Structure 1
């Protein structure tokens, strides 16, 4: 079942938990500046900078610049660099300030220092020993990665922690938090940016993992897992875990691209890394066996999706990575991400080869760059008990690639204490009980009801909830002002039976519309919980625009009331439907449907046969089968629709519909087949493309309302799946193929322009092409017995069949405006001689992205 993905606002609810009554006025000490050599005046990269007597620190970048912040008052900074004297400078507490520093070489290393005056040396790859070293690391990647073994078995412990950050004493003392003081105990202030952290969410898992090289297979058996459980009325706990897992994926330094915060970053040891990074040998650790070289790297362009930091590489001919510590430049085009830090540790095995022993990813999010309440996410992976090239029985890999044992969630505290592969603080363990206490407070319950209403659109009253609120009022040319009220039952009433209903009234046409459905859950689970298995019967009497997919609860969204051009075509519909939905754990699903549809044209739309007679009602009866396969799909289940978390995996859809003449009043026999493939392609530094291929074929002689009426858009909101400069009912086909490409460059070009780089805008381009047509048997100009294609009131033609040329439109756009808005300039390339069409248009849409 293909489900809409536009309801991403529901994903903001778990984030609101972490920021649930945000305050942007936390007091911080923020210092920026440049560090130079006192003699040569050259800037010094990778100087260690710390607030005195704290663990709050940073490093200068390749240009010697630094920024460091702390949530409370600080009075001094310490600067430390190999071969130079340590310098301490006083700073003003709780103030944003600039401090430039010059470092003098230390006396005991003056004989080792070579002073080079004159112009700054231009960085080059040629004859650069650091670049030669990184090329050796790249050449030996396949020998050093874990997949070089025939088989691997190991244990993995995962801990995911989310915390409110930058919490000040003044903020804690606010009246609104008088019931939440238990949350503010023993904060940790040693992580990113030195911000005070208040843990509010935690999840843990312990798993046994197996890999096989030939044939390539993998298996993960989760033997224990636990997480904070929020009230299911407000939060989809499984969906939230899937969403966080997507943002915080495994970090494999040996891959060409590393996915972090839903974006692909080029690895510093990717095949093409020397073209995008600058590399420097900054230290040699000779007291280790084998000898290890410290290799620092930074982006050539600080706004690109690249890392900066340090690698540690063996100097023994294997060129294995023994450790890494890196983050991103503050100029990078990431929404709400204020800082990021990744640490990787590798340990040698008996054969002297290095395997990952620990991985830690921290990311700090907030609206402001440094000030204000935010939240910090931390994911730590610990790997132990490696076994290499041992015989693994084939039975291990049977079934799904990831299995959760039935009793995994039932492990007691003693089990966790004995089996965790890493330490965990008492503060972090407290969060399990803290959230339970928090959710029982009446003030928190009231807050969550308001948040759910704002973001999900429903007001919960226990067994029944009213909504969605954005459909309560709308208007169009046929109905005029339209009021609607409805809702649905919840699992609190019954886990087996669900009912949904609404009633609406148009003040211009003076007609009532309504909808009623009853659903029976066959697997005795919520019908909104994966995997679904239910049967639903429904009746709906309402209006719709021809060719627009009818979504029961979103057809009369208020924001879609504003339309351009002539918009007077509408259908009155009676739908009688019975559907059976079955989903499987591997994300294959099918839907069997039986539908009777009676449609009556309204407004400027009329059905007229070739004898000139007007047809008041068209009735069809259909049976349908829809297949959907979405391998590795993850999603967040909102209050209205499931919101997929888009990844690199394709989604396949196939739908077959058969019209049955003489059954339940059906007037036509026909067959309609439609198929589509959706796929996101990540192109490393060039961003990503969302591509949809679609095709359809109608077999049989049918009037135009039963043909494929192509999705048009006459609103001012940009719609990804529609043709935004096509008029409603402008084109019909009985066979077609289409391609839709939406490419986001993630600021690749804008980051080279200083002003645009500061605004963090992103470039977007789209291309849409539709090729199709009508066979003679379905063309009313050739074949008698069909409805005439609609005309405008002045007699000009309104509806067409596609000719030899495909319909083409494209757009260029700017995204990330105010971090939420995308605006496109759309161009229609052909069929410009049709009446009431525009060659150009400006469209906008709201899109929340990192």
Structure 2
């Protein structure tokens, strides 16, 4: 028997054994059949095994199915009336989950239910009467209607590039990344791909008590596809995505999605904004349900369309809900949005939310590449009536980071209520593997340069590039070069600095700082706990205080009016900051400050004989302490500052600064108290308003105006939210004041009702800013000769004032969402119009990215 014959026998034996083993293997497939356009479930779809007619099943009323297969066949045929059939390839895994999407035959868009074309009226409408019953029983059916509730919650958030073509996938730049691409069953063709980019899972225990109303959450496990912290704030990215994909609570009057509020179909005012129809009756075992379809009266408003299944047992509870939005809605970049909610009975026969899913796809166009994200929340072990100790309802317990990182795949398999899909299961490893590829790191390095302005060179990074060149009338052409260290240098010590040179004043300026973390982590990660020492010599415009932008940004080189009042500042600071759970922070600092007037700015004191004494410098030593409380605050943490993600919770600050005479050359004693309160007020269909109130009170006599409050002015052509856009620099000074600023965003509520404007999806913005204050006689240059005289401009006219019995006010009307990123305001100054060189109105612009 020769060797070739032996090899042939062994090969045939292996093939036969493999076939026998494959035939004996049983696999279980669970999944859901959905409409590929609307993402709604397709009930009673047929699911058959290709080649085995005896194996098959159908989806239930929710589109869900379970099927077991014994044999080598690995392909399903899925079909439903009105849809094109689809074949689905299966893997060899014993248990797998598949979302299967079918597309309507010969249709561009699938529409499940259309309202009858008859005159609609709320009067004598059984559908409206039914929804009013649902509204009337809303409190008893929602979570907050129960006395005591506890449950476990699993959350999953997945994000990726979607609808990618074969041509895009095979580009040369992706040669080393082919392992990342997966088939996109939701794409517009069979050759579409998806590129998973982010995934996060969280499992928590939750406790709720009605009286007094308190709740707590204990995080059992949390897992996230982390990016290199040199490029991405992973916690901030998670906060931002969770804010976009907020939890859907249909029993609230308003549902927050994409930072906007949509009116719930069971809100108190729902019959005013929605049309309701009874479209079906459903029997689920012994349970009878009524299907209510609802549609927005105005397709351009922030409203849903969809269906509700309502119980008829006297409780009028929601058993199932599916919701989406109209394409006409004024919502940026959103190509598709779908919500599904499932409810079941608890141990007290009350309905509770068992599962919610929110799917959103973003794109610049109706077709082509996009970004698709999905957030799924599943609740289990829901129990009401169990009373716990008071401490259980008040404590928010976060997990130990080491405990979270030590969660093994087996632990997560036990925690997940349903297994991950094949594409989801490899996201974590793909993101980890992606970051080992040098070309990806180069791409992230370039992206970081574009977005943050810094170029990395190992343990240091140079920037920001938009400050390398700028211009002002005192320094002339200003050239600057700076940088800072990264985590590669040290995870606890961060150094930062720059050098700058003015070609006109021929002076060098500098800044140097060192920040040391006191809690064994980066000083820029929450909760911050650090000490910082800094020294600087630089120019500054009194009364200009910018947020998130350097004052020597090249874009701010262009200013209106006279811009000649400057300071040369020497600052030596020592700062301390500590943050605590609950978003409470304490800061304190010591500042040695020397001011030298520059440009037309001068420190002059009028003597009793009428002569003028010019003062070359002003020396101050200050001690400060501050408190800040921002409950439930969310933010994206940059390298040196935070970008807030505003929600409905307020932000309070309280600061105290003391001037110390005789300490380290300090020349004045004073006490400066400052308080601010910020609140975003949501107004449902009428948009939202950002309201900011602030005030100061300074105790002390004979204090020169540079140490008082020089109110925030803006002479650039950019609209600044916190500054007074038609006030001149140093125009108003006070030792006590109160101010109110309101930015009201209507989100297109008016424009959506104008036929020619609603197609442009523009949004209206209104603002009002008012401030009133004054000076005590001892600090007023008009009365006291012990303080500096008022500032004068280049023409010799007085250009600084205090308030003369009335507030400063300005208002604006803006058109936002121009090209989806631009806001332009017409600003009108309402008071103090007779002061020198002040504008009465102006046009200002602001770039802002909104959904």
After the TM superposition, which residues 457-468 of structure 1 pair with which residues of structure 2 at under 5 Å, given as runs? 457-468=453-464
Matching residue of 2:675: 675
Matching residue of 2:373: 377
Equivalents in 2 of 1:291, 1:30: separation in Å? 29
**What SS is found at the alignment partner of 1:179?**
helix
Matching residue of 1:691: 691
Alpha carbons 1:192, 1:364 under 8 Å: kept: no
| 1:553 CA drift (Å) | 7.4
Matching residue of 1:156: 153
Equivalents in 1 of 2:411, 2:143: separation in Å? 29
Equivalents in 1 of 2:606, 2:208: separation in Å? 68
Matching residue of 1:617: 617
Equivalents in 1 of 2:130, 2:110: separation in Å? 35
Alpha carbons 1:308, 1:326 under 8 Å: kept: yes
Alpha carbons 1:49, 1:77 under 8 Å: kept: no
Unaligned runs of 5+ in 1: 1-28, 32-47, 57-71, 79-88, 92-96, 104-115
**What SS is found at the alignment partner of 2:247?**
coil
* Counterpart check, 1:527 vs 2:527: no
Equivalents in 2 of 1:596, 1:605: separation in Å? 21
Of 607-616 and 731-740, deviating more is 607-616
Alpha carbons 1:532, 1:581 under 8 Å: kept: yes
The equivalent position to 2:602 in structure 1, one of 581, 599, 606, is 606
Matching residue of 1:751: 752
After the TM superposition, which residues 127-146 of structure 1 pair with which residues of structure 2 at under 5 Å, given as runs? 127-146=124-143
| 1:398 CA drift (Å) | 4.5
- Work out which structure has the larger RCO, using CA pairs closer than 8 Å and 6 or more positions apart in sequence: 1
Unaligned runs of 5+ in 2: 1-35, 39-79, 89-100
Of 284-293 and 569-578, deviating more is 284-293
Equivalents in 1 of 2:638, 2:240: separation in Å? 12
Cα 1:509–1:715 shift into 2, 3 Å:
same
TM-score between the two structures when normalised by the length of structure 2: 0.86
Equivalents in 1 of 2:510, 2:546: separation in Å? 14
Cα 1:270–1:126 shift into 2, 3 Å:
same
Matching residue of 2:85: 53
* Counterpart check, 1:716 vs 2:717: yes
Of 380-389 and 278-287, deviating more is 278-287
Alpha carbons 1:694, 1:737 under 8 Å: kept: yes
Equivalents in 1 of 2:86, 2:333: separation in Å? 26
Matching residue of 1:342: 339
Cα 1:465–1:331 shift into 2, 3 Å:
same
Alpha carbons 1:295, 1:312 under 8 Å: kept: yes
* Counterpart check, 1:556 vs 2:552: yes
Alpha carbons 2:162, 2:187 under 8 Å: kept: no
CA shift digits 1:565-616 (9 cap, x unpaired): 1111110010011111111122111111111111111111111111202111
**What SS is found at the alignment partner of 2:504?**
coil
**What SS is found at the alignment partner of 1:131?**
helix
Alpha carbons 1:220, 1:403 under 8 Å: kept: no
**What SS is found at the alignment partner of 1:329?**
coil
Equivalents in 2 of 1:213, 1:361: separation in Å? 27
Cα 1:311–1:476 shift into 2, 3 Å:
same
| 1:422 CA drift (Å) | 1.9
CA shift digits 1:661-687 (9 cap, x unpaired): 111111111111111001100000010
Cα 1:551–1:163 shift into 2, 3 Å:
closer
Alpha carbons 2:250, 2:264 under 8 Å: kept: yes
TM-score between the two structures when normalised by the length of structure 1: 0.86
Equivalents in 2 of 1:722, 1:255: separation in Å? 36
Equivalents in 2 of 1:102, 1:293: separation in Å? 15
Alpha carbons 2:215, 2:394 under 8 Å: kept: no
| 1:143 CA drift (Å) | 1.5
Equivalents in 1 of 2:189, 2:207: separation in Å? 33
Matching residue of 1:393: 389
Matching residue of 1:23: none
Cα 1:812–1:401 shift into 2, 3 Å:
farther
| 1:195 CA drift (Å) | 7.0
Cα 1:137–1:196 shift into 2, 3 Å:
farther
Alpha carbons 1:544, 1:550 under 8 Å: kept: no
**What SS is found at the alignment partner of 2:622?**
strand
Equivalents in 1 of 2:739, 2:190: separation in Å? 49
Cα 1:54–1:296 shift into 2, 3 Å:
farther
The equivalent position to 1:573 in structure 2, one of 543, 550, 569, is 569
Alpha carbons 1:222, 1:408 under 8 Å: kept: no
* Counterpart check, 1:736 vs 2:730: no
Matching residue of 1:482: 478
CA shift digits 1:115-135 (9 cap, x unpaired): x9xxx5321111111111100
Equivalents in 2 of 1:99, 1:355: separation in Å? 30
Matching residue of 2:256: 259
Matching residue of 2:633: 633
Count of matched residue positions in the alignment of Structure 1 and Structure 2? 758
Equivalents in 1 of 2:821, 2:548: separation in Å? 27
Task: Please tell me whether Structure 1 or Structure 2 has the larger radius of gyration of its CA atoms.
Answer: 2
Matching residue of 2:49: none
